[in-house]
Amino acid sequence: MASASDVDDLLPLPTATFHILMALADGERHGYAIIRDVADRTGGRVRLSAGTLYRTIQRLLEQGLIVEVAERPAPELDDERRRYYRLLPFGREVAEAETLRLSQLVRLARARGLAPGRS
């Protein structure tokens, strides 16, 4: 179990990082699947580049948020053996903390009348 301060040190998360963690929230994915998942979920508004993806992945690996699982074929890509990544408990904790932070932020903004669609 990571301490609260370890989690807080990583917040706020860069947008790309948060999206990648979200993409791994419901299971293991390889790199290209993460890109596609992010694109699908955001209606194509967020398109991660390969460089941003792997740079972030490298950092997430180092920080212990995700882990690489054994390589296996990726049928939806090219059937070559690909690296798959899985969210670690610490990573989930960080993603949840970021979600909490953002929702609190949104609540504060709403309280000030800053919600879209209202005057």
Partner 1 sequence: MRLYRALLRLYPRSFRHEYGVEMAAIFAARRREAGSIPARLAVWISALVEIAGNAARVHADLLRQDAVQVARLFARAPGFVLTAVAIVGLGIGATTAAFSVTDYVLFRPLPFPDAGQLVRLWESRPGYGHMELSPANMRDWMARQSSFTAMDVYTSTAANVTGTGDPRRVSGALTGVTLFDVLGVSPARGRGFIAADGVLEAPPVVILSYAFWQTRYGGAEVIGRVIRLDDVPHEIVGVMPASFAFPSRQTEFWLPLRLSPEAFQDRNDNFLVGVARLRDDVTIDRARDDLGRVTAQLEAEHPAENRQAGANVERLRDGFSDETRNLVIALIGAAACLLVITCVNLVNLLLARVMARRTELVVRAAMGAGRERLVRQLTTETVALAAVGGLVGLGVASAAVPLFSSLVPVSLPFATPPHLDWRVLAFAAALTLATGLATGILPLLGPRQADFTILREGGRGGGGARERVRAGLVTVSLVSSVVLLVGGGLLLRAIWAVQSIDPGFRTDGVLTMRTALPVPKYADTERRIRWITDVVDGIRAIPGVRNAAYTSFLPMVMGGGIWPVVMDGDEVARQQGQVASLRFVTPGYFDTLGIPLLQGRDVSARDTLDQPAVAVVSRAFAERYWPGEPALGRRFTFAFTEREVVGVVGDIRVRGFEEPSEPQVYLSAAQQPGDSLSFYMPKDLAVRVEAGGDTVIPAVRRVIAQADADQPISDVRWMSDVVAGETASRVVQFRVIAAFAGVALLLAGVGIHGLLAYVVSQRHREIGVRMALGAQRSEILAMVMRRAAWLAVAGVGAGVIIGYGAGRSLESVLAGVPANDPATYLTAALVVALVALAGALVPALRATRVDPVRAMRAE
Binding interface with partner 1 (CB under 8 A): 30-32, 35, 49-55, 57-59, 77-78, 80, 82-83
Q: Which is nearer to partner 1, 28 or 99 (CB)?
A: 28
Q: How far is the CB of 110 from partner 1 (least distance, A)?
A: 35
Strand partners, 67: 86
Tokens 């490298």 sit on residue: 58
Q: Which is nearer to partner 1, 10 or 57 (CB)?
A: 57
Q: d(Cα 78, Cα 108) in Å, to the nearest integer?
A: 46
Q: Which is nearer to partner 1, 21 or 33 (CB)?
A: 33
Closest CA relative to residue 96, chosen from 108, 86, 104, 85: 104
